[in-house]
Structure 1
Amino acid sequence: MRAFTEEQKIKILEDLVAIKSVNENEIEVATYLKKLFEEHGIEATIVPVTATRVNLVAEIGSGSPVLGISGHMDVVSPGDVSKWSTDPFVLTEKDGKLYGRGANDMKSGLAALAIAMIDIKENDSLQKGSIRFMATTGEEVGGAGAKKLYEEGYMNDVNTLIVAEPSQDVIVYSHKGSLNFKVTSKGKEAHSALPQLGYNAIDPLAEFITKVNAEVRDSNRSNEILGELVMNCTIIHGGQQVNSIPELATAEFNVRTIPEYDTEEVIEKFKQFAEELNNEGADIIVEVTMSLPSVFTDGKSNLVKTAQLLGEKYFNDKPELIGSPGVTDGSNLLRSKGDDFPFIMFGPGLTKMAHKVDEYVHRDVYLKFIDLYEELFLEFNK
């Protein structure tokens, strides 16, 4: 017996897409899901993160084992709406595809998790243990929601974690971390004809960039699954006009880390290079604006094997097992878990469709994932 008809399942996704949770406003998504759960006898708790942002936690069953299922409630901006062929906040079906901002990344995954859990509750089919639903805020920028759940102990007793990011054709069991830096170099303004009266803020910043490129980006360390660390200086600002010595220059970096060269070591390197240049007369400040560690698991768990078999059952093709260069909320949720922890990222939609104009999820994929999740959840709570 199913708690929802196909059309009701589509309506839930339609309602979620209509909520403009663009890097904010997750409260409305959380309130909607809380009401949905409570209509089916499932207690749900809104967990404040900031004055305007929240997580949502709901749970069925009791005791161990505890299966964690997670998805984020925020979406990225639709950008130039005139480039969309449909209204990005109105779920629109065309040729078997459901279009809308977040339809792919990742409100279809979030809805599929919730519906599968409600079905299990309605049918009283959970034989033992618990399923903990964790909807997060701010995943697209910084991961504050998942960090809050980790800090408040919601992952302490979790034995298995499924993150429903769009990845219908692959199962991700490890992924790189992500670090953002803002590096500020302070100088002293002067006329460019009299540079000795000032201090050019660009010069030490350029030297800093050269140092980190040589010693961090060009490292030969690698991971068997994730490959090498990736680092890019992506934004540079400096100076006001061409005939003035600049008193301020900034550079921003994004680093995709691996366990062999993870976030703490990279942060220490950045600070070390700044200190070396400061000892030579520079005034460089390193600010870490985001820090998400890499996630490495060995991929040998029954979770991975079962998800692969179910992927083949529902989609007639066994999903490939991969490590990903992107990050998920797993970076925060799994901070204290070991390499043998059962973790996957597996959900409706395609990774390549994330953040794009005319984002969509296939209708049949969304609906099949609800059934797939129900089987998968119950397999680990027998």
Structure 2
Amino acid sequence: MTMLPPLDDPVAIARALLMCPSVTPADGGALALVEAIAEALGFAGERPVFTAPDTPDVENLFARRGDSGPHLVFAGHTDVVPPGDVARWRHDPFAGAIDDGHLWGRGAVDMKGGIAAFLAAVGRLVRDGRMPEGRVSLLITGDEEGPSINGTPKLLAWALARGERFDAAVVGEPTNPEAIGDAIKVGRRGSLSGTVTVTGQQGHVAYPDLADNPIPKLVRLVAALGDEPLDTGNDRFPPSNLEFVSLDVGNPAWNVIPRDARGRFNVRFNDIWTPATLEAELRARLTRAAGNAVDWELVVERPTSDSFLTRDPGLIDVLAAAVETVTGRRPTLSTSGGTSDARYIKDHCPVVEFGLVGQTMHKIDERVAVADLELLTRVYEAFLVGWFETAAR
């Protein structure tokens, strides 16, 4: 068996994980490494594989330490996005290079570094004989950066079917904009994706009277969806935003008016909306803009994800106190940003997110400061002690 990194060293653990080329949906040995470290720390793990038509099979990990008492879950993912042009990286994205005070590699902040910090925090508590009484579980998927079908949703169902029940969860996504301690995510906006298609009549560009060009009509509908803000936000969430990500006609010719034109968009929406009321508003805007002159269709991708907000002082206050004790910063309670697997966990227990600084996630030269890995480990260590003390009261 390959020698494990020191169980109390987040940099060594993160470096070993970065050397696993786990570009989604490939595992690259990452889950086996996490399981081996967890088992050395007293966890018992299983790696279920989930399948679905037209999606890749995905391996996942559930590991638990302890058999009774309050149950805390740490959730995350070992899969990473593709590195892009490797030649443009300062260091090989899967070499685990340490340079200039940073650990470089794909997944350094999103989110192998967070997993490494949590494992090292448990490692230090076990080493020092300070591990609290209770249950700690790892809920780690290989399908967060992919379709997110054979990952956390099915892993949660699998665990619940085996009698697991959770009291609170922390997701180790990179939540901090500038420095460790900036922000705890206590909620997320929802996400809705859709495609607007306008149908015209194909024809020759020299004879426009014999055709019906759908492109100007699509532009009108695009403006109708985006020109007026959906809302101005509230004291809990920032404003909802709609962004078009693609306008396409699939037409390589210069002398052909296309038959169809389509626009793809995504909305990140706050709790002013539900997926149903938001879809109704979008359809109303399209109907008004189209009138009787445009043949259009809106298809909303399923499933959508709703917004959520965690209100659990026993979780939020303890984590905020741990962050402030270690970093000297009082974190902002934030609901900004995109979606994460917390949207699945929220249906089973209170959940928050706290991890590394996210400035380089998904970028060329993704990297994490070595000092940040140490800080995050100390935050998780203080949080584990504080949460179990609070939960036991």
For the superposition of Structure 1 and Structure 2, which TM-score range results when normalised by the shorter chain? 0.7 to 0.9
Instruction: Answer with 121-130 or 173-182: which moved more.
Output: 121-130
Counterpart in 1 of 2:262? 250
Q: Give how far 1:94 is off.
A: 2.3
Contact 1:271–1:286, Cα closer than 8 Å, also in 2: no
Other-structure match for 2:385:
378
Q: Of residues 144, 160, 165 in structure 1, which corresponds to 2:173?
A: 165
- Specify the SS of the correspondent of 1:202: helix
Q: 1:183 to 1:28 in 2, by over 3 A?
A: farther
CA contact (8 A) 1:72 1:135 kept: yes
Check the 8 A contact 2:243/2:265 in 1, yes or no.
yes
What amino acid maps onto 1:358 in structure 2?
D
Given that residues 221 and 260 in structure 1 are in contact (C-alpha distance below 8 angstroms), is that contact kept between their aligned partners in structure 2? no
Displacement of 1:127 in angstroms is 4.8
Residue of structure 1 equivalent to 2:108: 103
Q: Which blocks of at least 5 consecutive residues in structure 1 are unaligned?
A: none
Q: Does 1:234 align with 2:245?
A: yes
Aligned to 1:266: 278
Q: CA deviation at 1:25?
A: 1.1
Corresponding letter in the other structure for 1:36:
I
State the alpha-carbon separation in 2 of the partners of residues 240 and 140 from structure 1.
Answer: 32
2:148 equivalent among 136, 143, 146: 143
- Distance of 2:207 and 2:7 partners within structure 1: 74
The aligned counterpart of 1:200 is 213
Partner-residue secondary structure (3-state), 1:380: helix
Gaps of 5+ in 2: none
Cα distance, 1:198 vs structure 2: 4.0
CA shift, 1:350, in A, is 0.8
Deviation per CA, 1:100-158: give whole Å up to 9, x if none.
Answer: 22112210101222333455566675554321211123323443322323444649732
Instruction: Say whether 1:292 aligns with 2:298.
Output: no
Q: Quote the residue 1:16 is aligned against.
A: 17
Deviations 1:284-312 (A, max 9, x none): 251416733223124x5132222222222
| Per-residue deviation, residues 190-247 of structure 1 (Å, max 9, x unmatched) | 2234445444333543343233225xx5223523132210111121012443432211
**1:329 equivalenced with 2:341 (yes/no):** yes
Aligned residue type for 1:380: W
For residue 71 of structure 1, the aligned residue among 69, 76, 82 is 76
- 1:305 equivalent in alignment to 2:349: no
CA contact (8 A) 1:180 1:254 kept: yes
- Separation in 1, partners of 2:65, 2:7: 23
SS at match of 1:106: helix
CA offsets per residue over residues 21-51 of structure 1, 9 Å max, x none? 2232136211222222234442111132334
Instruction: Give the secondary structure class of the aligned counterpart of 2:374.
Output: helix
Equivalent residue, structure 2, for 1:362 = 369
- What secondary structure is seen at the aligned counterpart in 2 of 1:352? coil
Contact 1:226–1:325, Cα closer than 8 Å, also in 2: no
Could you tell me the TM-score, scaled by structure 2's length? 0.82
1:85 to 81, 85, 90: 90
Instruction: Map Cα deviations across residues 146-196 of structure 1 (whole Å, 9 max, x no partner).
Output: 232344464973221111112323222122223322333344322234445
* CA–CA separation in structure 2 for the residues paired with 1:36 and 1:5: 9
Distance 1:53 1:306 in 2: 34
Aligned with 1:307: secondary structure? helix
Is 1:345 the counterpart of 2:350 in the alignment?
no
Match of 2:233 among 207, 222, 233: 222
Percent sequence identity is 25
Q: Can you list the C-alpha shifts for 1:45-72, whole angstroms capped at 9, x where unaligned?
A: 1132334322211111224522121111
Q: Secondary structure, in 3 states, of the residue corresponding to 1:181? A: strand
Q: Using a 3 Å threshold, how does the CA distance of structure 1 residues 364 and 374 change in structure 2: closer, same or farther?
A: same
Distance 1:151 1:189 in 2: 49
**Aligned-residue offset at 1:86:** 1.5
Give the direction of change, closer, same or farther, for the CA distance of 1:32–1:4 in structure 2 (3 Å limit).
closer
SS of 1:22 mapped into structure 2: coil
TM-score (norm 1): 0.84
Given residue 237 of structure 1, which amino acid in structure 2 is its aligned partner? D
Residue 44 of structure 1 contacts residue 58 of structure 1 at CA under 8 Å; is this kept in 2?
A: yes
Deviation larger for 58-67 or 282-291 = 282-291
Conservation of the 8 A alpha-carbon contact between 2:193 and 2:301: yes
Could you tell me whether the CA contact under 8 Å between 1:56 and 1:134 is conserved in 2? yes
Which has the larger displacement, 18-27 or 267-276?
267-276
What amino acid is aligned across from residue 14 of structure 1 in structure 2?
Answer: R
Which deviates more, 280-289 or 23-32? 280-289
Q: Which whole-Å CA distance do the structure 2 matches of 1:175 and 1:256 have between them? A: 9
Answer yes or no: is the 8 Å Cα contact 1:126–1:381 preserved in 2: no
Secondary structure of 1:373's match?
A: helix
Query: Matched residues in 2 for 1:229 and 1:81: separation?
Result: 35
Task: State the superposition RMSD in angstroms.
Answer: 3.1
**Is 1:184 equivalent to 2:192 in the alignment?**
no
Work out the CA distance in 1 between the residues paired with 2:50 and 2:210.
48
